[in-house]
Structure 1
Amino acid sequence: MNISVVIPLLNEEESLQELYDWIARVMQSNQFLYEVIFIDDGSTDTSWNIIQQLSEKHTEVKGIKFQRNYGKSQALDAGFGVANGDVIITMDADLQDNPEEIPDLYHLIAIEGYDLISGWKKKRYDNVITKNIPSKLFNWAARRTSGLHLNDFNCGLKAYKKEVVKSIKVSGEMHRYIPVLAKNEGFTKIGEKVVQHQARKYGITKFGMDRFINGFLDLITISFLSKFGKRPMHFFGLWGTLMFIFGFTLAFYVGFVKLYRLYSGMKTILVTNNPWFYIALTSMVIGTILFLAGFLGELIIKNGPQEKHYKIKEYLNL
């Protein structure tokens, strides 16, 4: 199979039929073999009924229904798990991503050999204050932190080599950082393509301002995980050891000064009345806790089960 189109959605009943028809026209005009995988992330409207109707008419339409709303990252992870295409395209279900971009994205992956192509909505039709300006700030921070020079990390329209989506685990709200996850797994040929952004035709956006706060928190998380996710002892153990050595050295100094004053006949105070004693004790305790945290982290990584943090209620054509 040439292409798998993975589409996470939440309450997009107005756009699903139009989106599928548009994708089908593009695929058939380019003679692609394809499948369209809709992942219903806990919709409360008739979205799943429409997906069922599409799957009955078209065998290339497949569906996954979540038990409840888990988030876009979990929806993408489920879609990646069942995708069979050599090239995987992700797009949003709100018609703001243009299916006419699919042939060029496919060419960049299948012919030019890119591992991942991220769309860049250079001209956007979103609210400038609530979406465009925060998005620019977010992308600047992501570039600085990740070392990937992409202009639009959060664009839903992306293309992947099959090996990429089968190698990464998308959880939490890490869908914004899939290029970073891919880079961390050793896929370095990552590019960007300017794509056409459509004005929203139906409904309202499902994302509020909190997504930017969560995005920055996730950015810190993935920056840490990219460096220490598979070796937590290198972070916690290092800082734990340094804190313990600092505390032990300070405690030794406090004890030495106490003994020196005692044997010199000088006036002394109780060690417990010296504030440096408590600083030393606290440093050693924190150091020990950090070291143990790194040790436990190593055990969890090596022995912990890799669980999926979502529950699938129903499959269609899978």
Structure 2
Amino acid sequence: MDISVVIPLLNEEESLQELYDWIAKIMQSNRYLYEIIFIDDGSTDNSWNVIKELSKKHTEIKGIRFQKNYGKSQALDAGFELAKGNVVITMDADLQDNPEEIPALYNLITKDNFDLISGWKKKRYDNIITKNIPSKLFNAAARKTSGLKLHDFNCGLKAYKNEVVKAVKVSGEMHRYIPVLAKNEGFSNIGEKVVQHQARKYGETKFGIDRFVNGFLDLITISFLSKFGKRPMHFFGLWGSFMFLFGTSLAFYIGAYKLYKVYYGIKTILVTDNPWFYIALTSMILGTLLFLAGFIGELIIKTKNDEKHYNIKEKLNI
């Protein structure tokens, strides 16, 4: 199979038929062998019924319906697990991503041998205050932190080699950072392509300003995980050892200095009246806790099993 199109969605019943027709037209005109995987992330409208009707008419359509709304990351993860195409393309269901970009994205993966191509919506039709400006700040921070020179990390339109989507594990709210996750797995040939951004035709956006706050928090998380996710002891153990040694050295100095004054009959205060004693004690306690956190982290990594963070309610053609 040439292409798998993975489409997460939430309450997009009005756009699904039009989106399918548009994708099918492009696929058939280029004679691709393809599948379309719709992941209904707990829609409360008629989206799932629309997908079921489409699947009865078109065997290339597959569908997954979540028990409730788990989030875009979980939807993408479920779609990636099912995808069989040599190239996997993700796009949103709101018609803001243009299916006519598919042939160019496919060629960049198959002919130019990119591992991942991220779309760049250079010209956007979003609200400048609530989306465009925060998005620019977010992307600048992501570039600085990750080392990837991408302009639009959060663009839903992306293309991947199949082995990339099978290697990355998308959970929490990490769908924004799939290129970073891919880089961490050793896929270094990552590029971007300017893509068309369509104005929303139906419904309203599902994302508010809070997504950028969450995005920055996730950026801190993935930055830490990129460096220490596989070896937490390298971070917690290092700082824990440093703080414990600092506290121990300070306590030894306080005790030695106290004995020196007592030996020579110099008037001195009780050790417990010395504020440095409590600094030393706190440093040793924190150092021990940090070291234990690193040790427990190492045990968790070595013993954890892969877990799904979503429950599937129904499947179609799978």
TM-score for the superposition, normalised by structure 2: 1.00
**Alignment partners' CA distance in 2, 1:263 and 1:107:** 83
**Alignment partners' CA distance in 1, 2:163 and 2:304:** 24
Aligned to 1:280: 280
Cα displacement string for residues 75-129 of structure 1 (whole angstroms, at most 9, x for unaligned residues): 0000000000000000000000000000000000011100000000000000000
After TM superposition, the structure 1 = structure 2 runs for residues 134-145 of structure 1, keeping only pairs within 5 Å, are 134-145=134-145
**Structure 2: gaps spanning 5 or more residues:** none
Cα displacement string for residues 20-47 of structure 1 (whole angstroms, at most 9, x for unaligned residues): 0000000000000000000000000000
After TM superposition, the structure 1 = structure 2 runs for residues 149-188 of structure 1, keeping only pairs within 5 Å, are 149-188=149-188
Aligned length: 318
Q: Once the 2 structures are TM-superposed, how far is the Cα of residue 214 of structure 1 from its aligned partner?
A: 0.2
1:291 is aligned to 2:286: no
**Alignment partners' CA distance in 2, 1:238 and 1:178:** 29
**Alignment partners' CA distance in 1, 2:177 and 2:155:** 10
Aligned to 1:22: 22
After TM superposition, the structure 1 = structure 2 runs for residues 90-169 of structure 1, keeping only pairs within 5 Å, are 90-169=90-169
Aligned to 2:207: 207
Q: Once the 2 structures are TM-superposed, how far is the Cα of residue 306 of structure 1 from its aligned partner?
A: 1.6
Q: Once the 2 structures are TM-superposed, how far is the Cα of residue 269 of structure 1 from its aligned partner?
A: 1.1
SS at match of 2:202: coil
Aligned to 1:9: 9
Cα displacement string for residues 212-236 of structure 1 (whole angstroms, at most 9, x for unaligned residues): 0000000000000000000000000
Aligned to 2:315: 315
**One-letter amino acid of the structure 2 residue matched with residue 155 of structure 1:** C
Cα displacement string for residues 4-59 of structure 1 (whole angstroms, at most 9, x for unaligned residues): 00000000000000000000000000000000000000000000000000111100
The runs of 4+ residues in structure 1 deviating greater than 4 Å are: none
Cα displacement string for residues 195-252 of structure 1 (whole angstroms, at most 9, x for unaligned residues): 0000000000000111000000000000000000000000000000000000001101
SS at match of 1:74: helix
Aligned to 1:89: 89
**Alignment partners' CA distance in 2, 1:82 and 1:125:** 32
CA RMSD for the aligned pairs? 0.4
Q: Once the 2 structures are TM-superposed, how far is the Cα of residue 305 of structure 1 from its aligned partner?
A: 1.7
Q: Once the 2 structures are TM-superposed, how far is the Cα of residue 268 of structure 1 from its aligned partner?
A: 1.4
TM-score for the superposition, normalised by structure 1: 1.00
**Alignment partners' CA distance in 2, 1:132 and 1:300:** 39
